[in-house]
Amino acid sequence: GAVVSQHPSRVICKSGTSVKIECRSLDFQATTMFWYRQFPKQSLMLMATSNEGSKATYEQGVEKDKFLINHASLTLSTLTVTSAHPEDSSFYICSAGTTANNEQFFGPGTRLTVL
Amino acid sequence: LAKTTQPISMDSYEGQEVNITCSHNNIATNDYITWYQQFPSQGPRFIIQGYKTKVTNEVASLFIPADRKSSTLSLPRVSLSDTAVYYCLVAGGGATNKLIFGTGTLLAVQP
């Protein structure tokens, strides 16, 4: 299947700093990318949907000013956690989809730890 | 989006066939049923997708009754490496539709 990568795989930062996570579709052009957050022992929670060249659509309860999403090209979406706090520590996962397929492809995830 | 209900956990032994059933009473006409597998600290991995009747691939089978209000993922002869969380999702066809994950089923395979 198609490959989606995330960078970095894990990051530790101090409270108050901003962290950028990249999601790339390596061998296909993704019409749409999705960002999820997963806390320990819990399911994935959809944060936002982003289409290339347009503003992301955020799920209810997700602060758009805190979680900045940029989808500048068909192969790259970034999630920036601004002014991160310990409660933002989580596993962040992206997925990518194209209208040509029925299957969304998920990235390996990024473990964020905020001290 | 249709809500799904699955057992929280299941236990099995190596070599057995495992069937995980998912309920989705409010499935819409254009919804497909997709199952994903997730190992700890990894992103979900696609297993199988279907619309009705039966679908089979190299790793699993998916059984969907005529009313489509439930589906059953069948894993033949599981091994220890099949220990994972399995998610049933219902969404419109196409990879650009958002997926809402339920609780999933933690399958524990023992020797």
Give B20-58 pLDDT, tens digit per residue: 999 999 999 999 999 999 999 999 999 999 999 999 999
Please name the amino acid found at residue B16. Q
Gap from A64 CA to chain B (nearest CA, Å): 18
Contact across the interface for A46 and B100, Cβ inside 8 Å: yes
Minimum Cα–Cα distance from A39: chain B residue: B41
Beta strand B9-13 with B18-23: parallel, antiparallel or unpaired?
A: unpaired
Query: Does A33 touch chain B if contact means CB atoms closer than 8 Å?
Result: no
The whole-chain average pLDDT of chain B stands at 94
Residue B12: is its pLDDT beyond 80?
yes
Please name the member of A6, A102, A109 whose beta carbon is closest to the beta carbon of B32.
Answer: A102
Q: What pLDDT sits at residue B2?
A: 63
Both tokens of B6, joined, read 């699955």
Contacts of B36 in chain A (CB under 8 A): 106
Q: What pLDDT sits at residue A102?
A: 76
Contact across the interface for B49 and A93, Cβ inside 8 Å: no
For residues A106-115, give the mean pLDDT.
97
Q: Which helix (H) or strand (E) holds B55?
A: strand B53-56
Q: What residues of B are in the A interface, CB distance below 8 Å?
A: 32, 34, 36, 41-46, 49, 87, 93-104
Residue A43: is its pLDDT beyond 80?
yes
Residue B80: is its pLDDT beyond 70?
yes
Task: Check: CB of residue A4 under 8 Å from CB of residue A26.
Answer: yes
Residue A61: is its pLDDT beyond 90?
yes
**Residue A36's closest CA among A50, A47, A23?**
A47
C-alpha distances in Å from residue A113, one per residue of A8, A32, A61, A87, B76 = 12, 27, 21, 9, 38
Q: What pLDDT sits at residue B1?
A: 61
Q: What pLDDT sits at residue A31?
A: 87
For residues A89-100, give the mean pLDDT.
92
Contact across the interface for A36 and B101, Cβ inside 8 Å: yes
Dihedral over Cα of B21, B27, B30, B34: its sign:
negative
